[in-house]
Structure 1
Amino acid sequence: MSTPYDLPTDLSKVKKFEWDDKYDFPRDLVGYGENSFNPQWPNGAKIAVSFVINYEEGAEHTVLNGDLHSETHLWEAPGGSPKIQERAVNIESEYDYGSRTGVWRLLRLFNKHNYKYTLYAVGKALEDNPAVGISSVKNGHDVASHAYRWIDYANMSPEKEKAYIKKEIETIQKICGSPPKGWYYGRLSSRSQALVWEVYKEMGIELLWDSDSYADDLPYWVDVPAEKDEPNPKGMLMVPYSYGSPPPLSL
């Protein structure tokens, strides 16, 4: 069998997958079914459009952040091999554009046309340029979490990831005045959603939604594994993310 991926040749050294009752959410391939669901949007609206701006600049993989290698994700020529213990200054420069110029162009457009957005903010990016978060709040927009670093969390230990989640919440609260009520990783581990729910509960903060789903056109509820033995489980509201881009707004 051929594969485009560089997989290990000795599978005996690969740890077999084991279901984790604490962290693993079951898949739901049924959803709302044939007749779908009428969400009854306000004022009889037929569709609800949510604008989001992902703010990640400065929080990506780079040796300047103490990482082993450079970033390879979400730049104009993605892919290829990362630079090991070396700066990729062209990639850094493209991310710098987003923080120095690109984000402000978007914010000016949204404010001019009075369209509200959710800023999915990476904590490290806000620390490097807090004015982005401050301006968003000042102009009536929502600031939600995009994790503390814009990195892949797949191989991170649960303990370290929980520490990052807590640091992200504290960072947004410090800069923007309140903790994030929503969360979107984008590069999450199989444990991430359960860990986010767990940290919010431990900190006594309400988590209103999670957007690490692409599974539907409409919001939907899921059971949280850690609540399976609780008498009154609350579940988690999923607000599916979409890669679709909005139509351009004229200057």
Structure 2
Amino acid sequence: MMTDADFWPNGARLAVSFSLMFEAGGQPLSGAEGIIPEPIAPGTIDLPTNAYFAYGYYEGIPRLLDLFDKYRVKMSSFMVGQAVDANPDIAREIVRRGHEAAAHGRVWANSYQLSREEEKRFIADSVESIARATGQTAIGWNAYWMRSSVHILETLQELGFLYQIDEPSRDEPFITRLNSRDFVTVPYTFHMNDIVAFPEAGWNAAAYEQALRDEFDQLYDEGSVRRRMMVISLHDRVSGHPARVRSLERFLSYVTGKPDVWFARKDDIARYVLERRNTTPVLERGSPYGSGLAGPC
């Protein structure tokens, strides 16, 4: 059994971790998912949708960075390599303000249909783009819509990654034993993803804020007896709009008034649980997710 001190640093009872997806500039010129319901002819450059993405680097990311600074929150930014190449100053500013630069692929597209070597190159390219712009080597991975190939853990381990987030089965991190070494999953939550839960057409500020508070309150209560983590996923072109930032600010004002909350980058979460392997669920490679566990429940 874990003691309170084992859950998170300094006796915190809940880790709250923000992800910021830096995808603006990495999307295809035609066929990217935007906000205009009318389809465009295949192969035609979609001017308004590309402008919608551009909002992410012109307005969204700067506004969100200012919000995080105001509340002293550090987060992990999953960056598409092509987006970083197009806007290296934005990537550098994210890192300069103390946030993590993590990898999100060469372009905003899936990789699960690639061969293992092609997928490995697809991931490595984004790492190289991030390193060129920021000097930081990415050790965290997020795939397009969470879908990587079945070889992904071995590939990430070979590339020097420490963790991935493409797994929604838990409200706490866990370890996979792989090639006699440990690899961390810092799980994802679809329902706290701004694109999935509250798209532009269905935006309801009051419902969004209530969902954030309810998620926090439930996990905060559970955090008195077990390790709990709240994950909130934001996109540069979605949550960076003024109304959404105001909703996030009201949520941050609420949770920063609570004691014993750790606002954590995901690389820090991964390192913390690796240092406390005896208090972390461990999954042997080859077992299905959610079963075959060795270690504490």
Give the TM-score of the pair, scaled to structure 1.
Answer: 0.69
AA partner of residue 10 (structure 2): N
Aligned-CA RMSD value = 2.6
Match of 2:153 in 1: 194
Tell me if the contact between 2:104 and 2:123 (Cα under 8 Å) persists in the aligned partners: no
Mapped to 2, the partners of 1:123 and 1:235 lie a distance apart of 27
Match of 1:90 in 2: 48
Structure 1 stretches lacking a partner, 5+ long: 1-34, 63-68, 228-232
Q: 1:237 aligns with which of 175, 184, 207?
A: 184
Give the TM-score of the pair, scaled to structure 2.
Answer: 0.59
Mapped to 2, the partners of 1:112 and 1:166 lie a distance apart of 34
Tell me if the contact between 1:213 and 1:238 (Cα under 8 Å) persists in the aligned partners: yes
Match of 1:76 in 2: 35
Structure 2 stretches lacking a partner, 5+ long: 195-211, 213-246, 254-297
Mapped to 1, the partners of 2:129 and 2:24 lie a distance apart of 15
AA partner of residue 12 (structure 2): A
Report which of the two has the higher share of helix. Answer: 2
Mapped to 2, the partners of 1:61 and 1:82 lie a distance apart of 13
Mapped to 2, the partners of 1:145 and 1:196 lie a distance apart of 13
Tell me if the contact between 1:186 and 1:212 (Cα under 8 Å) persists in the aligned partners: no
- Highest RCO, 1 vs 2 (Cα 8 Å, sep ≥ 6): 2
Q: CA deviation at 1:56?
A: 0.3
Query: 1:82/1:154 Cα in 2 relative to 1: closer, same or farther (>3 Å)?
Result: farther
Q: 2:95 aligns with which of 134, 137, 144?
A: 137
Query: How far does the alpha carbon of each residue in 1:25-60 deviate from its partner, in whole angstroms, 9 at most, with x for none?
Result: xxxxxxxxxx99975112222110011110001111
Max Rg structure = 1
Tell me if the contact between 1:71 and 1:82 (Cα under 8 Å) persists in the aligned partners: no
Q: CA deviation at 1:242?
A: 2.0
Q: CA deviation at 1:76?
A: 2.6
AA partner of residue 142 (structure 1): E
Match of 1:249 in 2: 249
Match of 2:282 in 1: none
Query: How far does the alpha carbon of each residue in 1:162-198 deviate from its partner, in whole angstroms, 9 at most, with x for none?
Result: 2211211111111111210211113333236235325
Asked whether 1:49 is paired with 2:7, we answer: no
| Secondary structure of 2:144's aligned partner | coil
Mapped to 2, the partners of 1:91 and 1:160 lie a distance apart of 28
AA partner of residue 60 (structure 1): Q
Asked whether 1:215 is paired with 2:169, we answer: yes
| Secondary structure of 1:119's aligned partner | strand
Query: How far does the alpha carbon of each residue in 1:86-129 deviate from its partner, in whole angstroms, 9 at most, with x for none?
Result: 11112111101112111111111111222111111111111111
| Secondary structure of 1:125's aligned partner | helix
Mapped to 2, the partners of 1:194 and 1:45 lie a distance apart of 30
The number of aligned residues is 196
Q: CA deviation at 1:84?
A: 1.9
